[in-house]
Homo-oligomer: A and B are copies of this chain.
Amino acid sequence: MHRIDGLPTHVTIYEVGPRDGLQNESTIVPVEIKAEFVERLVDAGLTTIETTSFVHPSWVPQLADAADLLARIERRPGIHYPVLVPNDRGLDRALESGVTEIAIFGSATESFAQRNLNRTVDSQFDMFAPVVSRALEHGLRVRAYISMCFGDPWEGEVPIPQVVDVGMRLLDLGCYELSLGDTIGVGTPGHARALIEAFPCGPSQLAVHFHDTYGQALANTLEALRCGVTVVDASAGGIGGCPYAASATGNLATEDLVWMLHGLGIETGVDLDSLVATSSWLAAHLGRPSPSPVVRALSKEP
């Protein structure tokens, strides 16, 4: 264990495997396996687990069982089980399921806002405002994702002021944290630093969400930590986006992140062996090996 001056002593891992991971896998996993997955993640020491999404089932059939899943999970004290909520109807369903934390999913670019939300960057706030307002009235915490913070497949590099503007408007609605997403994985460490430093709110309200499409996720994370960020999104086993496909947009694997953090003497509360066992177990259900190097190395699987 070898520390680096100026890095945080503790990092909170915001685990996205059950939602962002399974949403982007071609295999639809049975609800009882999902419930066991979430329980095993908690057993492995993760304390924040984005559990599912209340998008319309026809858009994301992988997560159509959101209410059923939440009914099966024993919600343990001190563990956070946020769910993604796209709109008012999604919030209704989340409230019916007794959810206490939600996340909304905004876009930094016009192209993606149009394709993903069928709205402009500007008009997405008309959709989010009543959701966040009503969620806060019910005492929920609301996190905001911003997608396409670094590059956009249609627009190329995304101007930093544009991302900051979207982010600050989301904070103004009452969100407690912004997760800065490199949805297509093109960002490099200097870009991560420049973006984080451009936010007037400071790093305490920022999380980072890197995809490993170009192998940059962990280097970018290291730089984000150096900028004072202490919340990092990751997906157990690196699930979400097949690494062998041309459109590979896999999440940073939680195991690869934990290996680096523990090597740096940064606490996470995670038991790595237990997490690797969980990802190996899930990989069998997904029918493909984990793309995480740490999972492959420690599970000694082919």
Which A residues have a C-beta under 8 Å from some C-beta of B?
1-4, 185, 187-191, 193-194, 212-216, 218-219, 221-223, 243-246, 248, 253, 256, 259-260, 262-265, 289, 292-294, 296-297, 300-302
Contacts and interface: CB of A to CB of B under 8 A. Distances in A.
The 8 closest A-B pairs by CB, nearest first: A188-B263, A2-B190, A215-B256, A215-B293, A2-B191, A246-B300, A218-B219, A4-B190
Contact of A248 (B2, B193, B296): B296
A246 B280 CA distance: 13
B219 A188 contact: no
B214 A259 contact: yes
Given A190-B264, A190-B265, A302-B244, A4 B293 contact: no
A277 B190 CA distance: 27
A260 B3 contact: no
Contacts of A253: 215
A88 to B, nearest CB: 37
B189 A293 contact: no
Contacts of A212: 293
Contacts of A2: 188, 190-191, 193-194
Given A189-B4, A259-B188, A260-B189, A302 B245 contact: yes
Contact of A214 (B185, B244, B256): B256
Contacts of A260: 188-189, 216, 219
A93 B42 CA distance: 60
A286 to B, nearest CB: 16
B246 A214 contact: no
Given A2-B194, A218-B215, A219-B219, A264 B189 contact: yes
Given A244-B302, A245-B302, A289-B244, A297 B189 contact: no
A191 B194 CA distance: 26
Given A189-B222, A215-B259, A215-B293, 9 more contacts: A2-B188, A4-B189, A188-B260, A188-B263, A190-B263, A191-B263, A216-B259, A219-B219, A222-B222
A248 B187 contact: no
Contacts of A1: 190
A301 to B, nearest CB: 7
15 contacts: A2-B194, A185-B293, A188-B260, A188-B262, A188-B264, A189-B222, A214-B293, A214-B297, A216-B263, A218-B219, A222-B222, A244-B296, A246-B301, A248-B293, A248-B297
Contact of A3 (B187, B190, B215, B263): B190
Contacts of A289: 244
A120 to B, nearest CB: 27
A223 B289 CA distance: 30
Contacts of A190: 1-4, 263-265
Residue in A218, A221, A243 with the greatest tally of chain B CB atoms within 10 Å? A218
